[in-house]
Amino acid sequence: MDTGPILHLSEIHQLSLLNIFSTIFVSTLVYKELKDFGISTAKLCKQGIHSAKVINTNVNDINRFFKRFKDYRVDRTDLSTIVVAKEKKITTILTDDLELRKVVEAYGLRPIGTIGVIVNAYKRGVLGNKELLEQVINMLFDQSSLYISRVFRDLVLDTIKKFE
């Protein structure tokens, strides 16, 4: 998992939505970034996320990925998410970073962003109704540091209206 989804869900007080995943793995580099934003494993536990695990990543593995994906604008912290996924045999990486999403896809993994987490939480019954789903999506756009265009926001809200 990349820093973005945890940070953005924290900003709108919706970290508990991460409970749709049985375990959340973050690299030590991502965890350092989270701590810089005041998000620790203790805070995650307080929010009901008891399945977060911080994984040490081998710098040589990260450097190999850095060389492999040198044409992308990603840093070693970003690439540490792929190292963790490879080590833990995970096929999905949570990230809002467009460039990292490209790398994740190029490596054959599936990226999911914060909006995807929220929609999946709704589909699993964690968010009780469409109105609450729309409210959380609007909070994400209005109260978090996630930048998404007005056009994309409207597209997301239009798509949500079509949900059963």
> How does pLDDT run across 43-86, given as a tens digit for each residue?
888 777 778 888 988 888 888 888 888 888 888 889 899 999 99
| Average pLDDT score over residue span 10-36 | 91
Tokens for 55, please give them.
Answer: 């994984």
What rounded mean pLDDT belongs to the chain?
Answer: 89
Q: Are 108 and 83 in contact (CB under 8 A)?
A: no
Q: Is the pLDDT of residue 40 over 90?
A: no
pTM of the model: 0.88
Exposure pattern of 25-58 as b/e (b: 16+ CB <10 Å)?
A: bbbebbbebbeeeebebebbeebebeebebbebe
Looking at residue 47, what is its pLDDT?
77
pLDDT band at 41 (very low <50, low <70, confident <90, very high): confident
pLDDT at 164 over 80: no
Secondary structure E strands in the chain: 24-27, 52-55, 92-94, 110-112
Domain ranges of the chain: 1-164
Amino acid letter, 76: R
The total of other beta-carbon atoms located within 10 Å of residue 17's CB is 23
Q: Hey, what amino acid is at 19?
A: N
Please tell us whether the domain made up of 1-164 is placed in CATH 2.60.40.1180.
no
Quote the pLDDT of residue 84: 92
Beta bridge partners of 24: 52
Distance in angstroms (rounded) separating the CA atoms of residues 125 and 153:
22
The per-residue pLDDT for 12 is 94
pLDDT of residue 144: 92
